[in-house]
């Protein structure tokens, strides 16, 4: 689980998933209010997570399933990836450059 770089409090799974962090890669800490950024390492892993959604989607698209199956499959993979992401998230008080 992510730990606030400012107050060192651990964010819960729920706080991480429902924070804006997933979408904008920055969110205020629920404990101290300090703005926290996803670390560069985390954002790089985020790219791998995107691939981990796209690759299974690509594999199932080789088979002749119905459209509904693809949509459901995509949603399931997406929620699994989202649900697991708090476990690898690392926070930083500063916005780190990727390179």
Would you tell me which residues interact with Zn ion (CB under 5 A)? 4, 6-7, 29, 31-32
Q: Are 57 and 73 within 8 A, CB to CB?
A: yes
CB 53 within 8 A of CB 76: no
Quickly count: other Cβ atoms within 10 Å of residue 73's Cβ. 16
Distance from the Cα of residue 80 to its chain's centroid: 10
Shortest reach from residue 30's CB to Zn ion, in Å: 8
Residue (28 or 74) nearer to Zn ion, CB: 28
d(CA 25, CA 64): 36
Closest approach of Zn ion to the CB of residue 74, in Å? 34
Tell me the closest approach of the beta carbon of residue 13 to Zn ion, in angstroms.
16
Output 6 or 45, the one with its CB closest to Zn ion.
6
Report the residue number, 32 or 76, with the smaller CB distance to Zn ion: 32
């Amino acid at each position: 689980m992510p730990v606030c770089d400012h107050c060192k409090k651990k964010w819960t799974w729920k706080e991480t998933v429902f924070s804006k962090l997933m979408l904008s890669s920055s969110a205020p800490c629920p404990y101290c209010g300090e703005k926290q950024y996803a670390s560069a390492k985390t954002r790089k892993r985020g790219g791998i997570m995107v691939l981990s959604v796209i690759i299974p989607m690509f594999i199932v698209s080789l088979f002749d399933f119905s459209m509904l199956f693809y949509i459901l499959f995509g949603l399931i993979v997406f929620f699994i990836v989202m649900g697991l992401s708090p476990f690898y998230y690392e926070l930083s008080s500063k916005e780190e450059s990727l390179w």
